[in-house]
Amino acid sequence: MNCLQVARVLQSYVDGEADEVTARRVAAHLADCRRCGLEATVYQEIKSALARRQSPDDLTLRRLRDFSTALLRDPPPDDDSADGTADGA
């Protein structure tokens, strides 16, 4: 799973709505990828803030927005695609 795929399912993962296989893949990626780990932390902060009936603070929202912006502007390399290995046949 790459960062973009994780970003797509991260909210349902944090909400406990992802299926078991997905949850395991996301957890493995989060353990490995600092950026997505931070993103998961931000979601959890927002979730717990909502649970306390408080608004997420400005810093949390700004971090979340910065993350999305950075991901769109500077997409991570796609780990799943193998290219540059064509040797002709």
Identity of the residue, 30 or 46, whose beta carbon is nearer to Zn ion in the bound complex: 30
Residue 1 has a CB neighbour count (10 Å cut-off) of 19
> Considering the complex, what minimum distance in angstroms separates the CB of residue 39 from Zn ion?
8
Helix, strand and coil percent figures for the chain, each rounded to 5: 65, 0, 35
The verdict on 26 binding Zn ion (CB under 5 A) reads no
> Considering the complex, what minimum distance in angstroms separates the CB of residue 46 from Zn ion?
19
Q: Which one-letter amino acid corresponds to residue 87? A: D
- Region 31-60 residues binding Zn ion, contact defined as CB under 5 A: 33, 36
The verdict on 3 binding Zn ion (CB under 5 A) reads yes
- Cβ(23)–Cβ(12) below 8 Å: no
Q: Tell me which DSSP letter residue 15 carries.
A: T
Size of the site for Zn ion (CB under 5 A): 3
Using CB under 5 A, list all residues that contact Zn ion: 3, 33, 36
